[in-house]
Structure 1
Amino acid sequence: MLINGLVTGVLFGILLQRAEVLRYDRQLGALRLQDMTIIKFMLSAIIVSMVGIHALVDLELAKLSVKPLVLGANIGGGLLFGLGWGILGYCPGTAAGALGEGRLDALWGIMGGLAGAAAYAELYPAMKATLLSMGDVGKVTLPQLLGLGHWPVIVIFIVVVVAVMRLVERKGL
């Protein structure tokens, strides 16, 4: 099974490189909402993943393990992630890909991520009782909140994403 992960990772890396989402100027353009290449790539990956995962679950070839929604952890983590992405100009995945292409500036982000992971491990006991439990909503999904099955939500998401992508294309972004 590990070979499947390696092959999938290599193919995904090739797609990242071919779509030019590893480039700093593309990252900066996405953060400034001036170049939607990365946003379109991410939304396409989300759609493929949603369909693939739910098809596997429906065919009983996989099991979906829903994690609890903890607003404090998600908002805090999202802000930290966004801040790091904004400062460095790479997210963790694209930093690794950029380093693989020889861009040594990405190494700072990778080292910062490792330092952040170490700091998180040290601060985890203190944060567990505060930020990491603040706003614990439990194990909920969007289809559950909407009172719909997962396929209608997926179809609605795809329709909205395609409409937004078409609008973005018409605007030349």
Structure 2
Amino acid sequence: MRPISEREIRASFVNCTKGEAKRLVIPRDLDARPWDDLDFLGWQDPSFPGRAYLVAEHGDRLVGVALRRATPHAGHARRSMCSLCLTTHTGDGVALLTARRTSGDGNSVGAYICTDLACSLYLRGKKDVGPGGRMPESLTLEEKIDRTAANVTEFLQKVTQ
């Protein structure tokens, strides 16, 4: 992903008002992000743990979506798999994140996604998920990256339909 500015990020949001996009908390470390290793920019709102944001290149433009985290269930020790990068986590490492659809019909779209939205880093082995987090695959890294990008595109298409 190419480096993007705060202004570009705020302008990219499609499922919230301009006022909401203006007020959302943008990561302060944009200059330090590993842009070459990111397939999308994702972060949690530090002031409200139930909110998260995802910005990705979708077609010829940036598309940002505001996400809400479903209430986690206490006591889960089972493994769950991220639907974007196919990394498995124990406990609350994967969460159901929902986004309002842009159609204005009041519906939302949900996906199970790495809670910290660090899918790109898990995929490339830049962030450790622990034993059993990445299943052995015969795909090359480039094929895994393409699959993740396709999964992100599919999610964004569902939001913007």
Pick the TM interval, shorter chain: under 0.3
Return the index of the structure with the highest Cα Rg: 1
Structure with the largest fraction of helix? 1
Q: TM-score, normalised by structure 1?
A: 0.25
Kindly indicate whether structure 1 or structure 2 has the higher relative contact order, using CA contacts under 8 Å at least 6 residues apart. Answer: 1
Would you tell me which structure has more strand in proportion to its own residues?
A: 2
TM-score, normalization by structure 2: 0.26
